[in-house]
Amino acid sequence: MKKIFGFVLFFLTVCMLPISLYGQQADDYLDLGLAGEAYHILQKQLETAKQHPESPLQIAVGHLELGAYYHTLGLYTEALAQYNFALEQLVHHPDDMLYAELNNNIGKVYLSLINFELAEQYFEETKTACEQLGDKKGLATSLGLLGASHEKQSEYEEALEDQRRSLALFKELRDDLGTALTNENIGSIYEDLEQFDLAYDYFNRAYGHLKGTGTEAEANVLNNLGDVFRKRGEYPSALEKTTLALELAIQINDLHQMESAHKDLSKTYALMGNFEQAHAHLLLAEQYNSDMLTSQNSDQLNVLQTIYETNKKEAEIELLKEQNKVSEAHQNLLWVALFSIAVIFVIMYYYMGRKRKAKLKIQEYKQRMLKAELDKKAIEEKNLQHEVQLKAASLSRYSLHLSQKNKILLDMSNTLRNIASRKHMDTSSKIKELVKEIDFNLKQEQEWDEFMSFFKEIHPEFVKKLSSLSQNSLSPAELRLGMLLRLNLSSKEIASILRVTPDSVRVARHRLRKKLPIDQKEELVNFMIDL
């Protein structure tokens, strides 16, 4: 059995059945090996139909036949393009039977491309449409194609169901060819399931319809019968059927069936132990396969070359037509263009002169504006620098003032304490009040807040940068220490401002340094200044 051969035969036959409604000239030429002539005939028919745009159905048929021709040659892209062109003709002039046929043909292309999902989508659409229209032949064809798709995917239960429904419809229509091919497809499914007795029964029924027709279908079913006999171990019967298939294939000059028959004979002789005959037939099968591929490639190449040359000539004709139209338009517009150019030239000369003068004035004005803007920015920058310098000086003076004031207040506080310690003096109570007031003032934060305000005006990003660089969060005291270090104050000056001892400042500096990513050799003050 040849599952693939049977499917291809069924596929090609079903392809041709609907087209026979409109003509089979291309198929006849393909049978004779005249691929180039077939293309010219179909192309000429299509061009003739296009000359009558009032008959879109004829144009659709022309595209359909050309698409089927491309499909037979394995030119799937071109086939789909022709089928889609045909569908476009049916948009405003629907024809249900022709639409169903086109839909099935598109599905067949996708089936050839092993795109089962898209193929079955088109077959299902066609099946539904045929059921609604009561088109039994179209429905039988769609079911057969669905069954073939399921068989290719090894979905044998679905395949058998579709093929049996198709067979019942073909029998009801008394369609011998459809009945024969469907029987053969059912036999192919049973052969895949290794139910060889059932496979033989259906193949034999198919042969009963095809016997004596002298067609590729008859040769193919003979090959399938020989295949079943071989798998059942009935080698003489297998040789008999396969030999009959080979003789018929030679008679009708079908390379595909000759290659298939020789391959089956090789397998049968090998199983019988006659390896010399098996080898001889295998060599012949390979030779026919090579000849078939060469012939197919040659046909495809010839057709593609013919298509290219035809398209090239059509493009050249269209180009010449367009060139003639352009030349005529140029002649009609030449004098008008010359006059228009002259007028435009005069207007442009006058306009450009005025524009040039205006442009010069604008440039001069822009230069003056630019110079004024630059001068303004220079003055603003100078003022800003001066303001920054003043604030920096003020901040330094303010920090020094804080330091001096705190020192003075501290000295006064110590002195007053000493006086207050003298118990025999009458001023003791008054001095104690003054000490309390001075101590209270020493604790006030108002001056420090003013210092912070001055500092942030001059170094607005310092605190934020210092906090982001710290590995741990910094306390307010550490932030203050950092700000005073940024002003490049000594430890003694910082101790005076913060009202702590210099040793405490050194300890605080050491703790702050630990929290910052500072190199051991780098000074903490330099690090703060660089922020």
Domain total for the chain? 1
Q: Is residue 23 situated within a structural domain?
A: yes
pLDDT at 122 > cutoff 70:
yes
Contact at 8 Å (CB) between 512 and 522? no
Q: What pLDDT score was predicted for residue 264?
A: 93
User: Which residue spans within 302-385 are E strands per DSSP?
Assistant: none
- Residue 241, C-beta contacts closer than 8 angstroms, at least 6 positions apart: 222, 223, 225, 226, 229
pLDDT at 25 > cutoff 50:
no
DSSP string, 395-422: HHHHHHHHHHHHHHHHHHHHHHHHHHT-
Cα 466 → chain centroid: 50
Give the pLDDT confidence of 32-70 residue by residue, as tens digits. Answer: 445 567 777 888 888 888 888 888 888 889 899 988 988
Q: Is residue 87 situated within a structural domain?
A: yes
pLDDT at 129 > cutoff 80:
yes
Q: Among 130-139, 301-310, 397-406, which stretch is predicted with the lowest mean pLDDT?
A: 397-406
Q: Is residue 10 situated within a structural domain?
A: yes
| Tokens coding 345 | 């030239």
Contact at 8 Å (CB) between 268 and 246? no
pLDDT at 4 > cutoff 50:
no
Q: Is residue 237 situated within a structural domain?
A: no
Q: Is residue 424 situated within a structural domain?
A: no
Q: Residue 115 sits in a domain of what CATH number?
A: 1.25.40.10
Q: What pLDDT score was predicted for residue 118?
A: 92
Q: pTM of this prediction? A: 0.53
Q: Which range is most confident: 99-108, 189-198, 292-301?
A: 189-198
Q: Among 99-103, 104-108, 157-161, 170-174, which stretch is predicted with the lowest mean pLDDT?
A: 99-103
% of the chain residues with pLDDT over 70: 80
Query: Taking the CA atoms of the chain, what radius of gyration do you get in angstroms?
Result: 51
pLDDT at 440 > cutoff 50:
yes
Q: Is residue 48 situated within a structural domain?
A: yes
Q: Is residue 380 situated within a structural domain?
A: no
The end-to-end CA distance of the chain, in Å, is 89
Between 425 and 511, where is the model more confident? Answer: 511
Q: Is residue 68 situated within a structural domain?
A: yes
Q: What pLDDT score was predicted for residue 94?
A: 77
- Residue 42, C-beta contacts closer than 8 angstroms, at least 6 positions apart: 25, 26, 62, 65, 66, 69
pLDDT at 423 > cutoff 80:
no
Structure confidence at residue 177 as a pLDDT band (50, 70, 90): very high
Burial of 181 from C-beta contacts in 10 A (0-12 / 13-18 / 19+)? buried
Average pLDDT over the chain reads: 81
Give the pLDDT confidence of 367-417 residue by residue, as tens digits. Answer: 888 887 887 887 777 767 756 655 665 666 566 556 656 666 666 777 777
Q: What pLDDT score was predicted for residue 407?
A: 63
Between 315 and 185, where is the model more confident? Answer: 185
Q: Phi-psi category of 474—alpha, beta or left, where left has phi over 0 and alpha has psi -120 to 50?
A: beta
CA atoms of 366 and 364, how far apart (whole Å): 5
For residue 100, give its domain range.
3-173
